[in-house]
Amino acid sequence: MPATPLWSRQLGLTHPIVQAPMAGGATTPELVSAVSASGALGTLAAALLGPSAIARQIADIRTRTDRPFGVNLFVLPSPFPDPEPAVVEQALSWLAPHYATFGLPLPDVHAPGWRWCEDFQAQLEAVAEAAPACVSFTFGIVDRATVARLQARGSLVLGTATTVAEAQAWEAAGADAVTAQGSEAGAHRGTFLQPAERSLIGTLPLVRACVQAVSIPVIAAGGIMDGAGIAAVQALGAQAAQMGTAFLVCDEARIPEPHRLALLAARGGTAATRITRAFSGREARGIVNTYMQAMQPLEARLPPYPILNALTGPLRKAAAEAGDAQYLSLWAGQGVPLARPLPAAQLIERLVAELQQTRERLA
């Protein structure tokens, strides 16, 4: 099967498939290395990891495979400024009934060691030092000097775009490729230029418009679940398909059991997913549950990421431990009914066979 230029020439990959970074522990070194060893691109989600955990997990992947892989970060202000106390108090009062459901005290934001998020610059240093084959970003954009520094260390730089203007901004910053994230995509929106509600473009028109607007390679993301989906985005001009939800049910992915069960229950049906700010303060797509519905009237007033994300952390952890899917972020894309729980290598084998069959069918 002919590999696309970015993939074959610069990365030496066999298949035009990227396993999406998925923050929260899903992208274990086992998953990333299994994907990369199969000839696709595995990606470690490092957004919620501190610098030493980033270095450790990258080293772990390198003991498992010598194939290229990517590392992904959320672009956040560094240092992250403390929010107004009144904003935190208000959010905690809205969360109080949900914490009470689990008999949990509200989080103490004045406790020693409390932090709103990992420090972005410190994470970036750890990633730059490790120099993985790819470094990708979402939630924002980095400057030309940062892009050039990563490239000088041998990393390709990939940005996330949810609009054509964001793809153009990444091209102007010197990125090697851009991931066009359609509104079907699971979990957080990468939007950084326009309000989220004006950046909800489906994968088909977004990928097509980005391919026409930028000259760097475009990777398509959002709702791609099988080889036919990969062929579809290749027909639009994408050089590769980035898939999250499809890999989330792989044996090597680590997610809370209630999340996994909700994903599996959605198979073959029509799962109701929608975009919500209720868990983290940033728009993200997940399977609708009790907490999402209860918080819906407040959504527009909730504090932004990472403030709300930190404030709901203990609640989500308690829900996961209690096996309760109703208070957990059940991140999933619109393609979740098509998910197949398989070892990553077998999923890639199937994707590649389906891609070939689709090409033959269309020829």
**Distance of closest approach, residue 207 Cβ to ligand FMN, in angstroms:** 12
**The total number of residues written for the chain in this structure:** 363
**Distance of closest approach, residue 168 Cβ to ligand FMN, in angstroms:** 19
Helix, strand, coil tally for the chain in percent (to 5): 45, 15, 40
Is the Cβ of residue 94 or residue 354 nearer to ligand FMN in the bound state?
354
From residue 313, alpha-carbon distances to 84, 117, 251, 307 in Å are 19, 11, 25, 10
**Distance of closest approach, residue 72 Cβ to ligand FMN, in angstroms:** 5
From residue 91, alpha-carbon distances to 289, 297, 327 in Å are 20, 13, 16
DSSP H stretches of helix in 173-306: 203-213, 227-235, 245-248, 257-265, 290-295
Is the Cβ of residue 239 or residue 245 nearer to ligand FMN in the bound state?
245
Whole-number Å distance between alpha carbons of 209 and 175: 18
In the block, residue with structure tokens 């390709």: 156
**Distance of closest approach, residue 105 Cβ to ligand FMN, in angstroms:** 28
Is the Cβ of residue 41 or residue 95 nearer to ligand FMN in the bound state?
41
**Distance of closest approach, residue 48 Cβ to ligand FMN, in angstroms:** 8
**Distance of closest approach, residue 114 Cβ to ligand FMN, in angstroms:** 22
Is the Cβ of residue 242 or residue 358 nearer to ligand FMN in the bound state?
242
Is the Cβ of residue 49 or residue 109 nearer to ligand FMN in the bound state?
49
- Are 207 and 180 a contacting pair, CB within 8 Å? yes
- The 10 Å Cβ neighbour count of residue 363 is 5
Strands 177-181 and 187-188: unpaired
Which residue sits closest to ligand FMN, CB atoms considered?
244
Is the Cβ of residue 88 or residue 262 nearer to ligand FMN in the bound state?
262
Chain contacts with ligand FMN (rule: CB under 6 A):
20-23, 26, 45, 47, 72, 138, 160, 181, 184-188, 221-224, 242-246, 248, 331, 333, 335
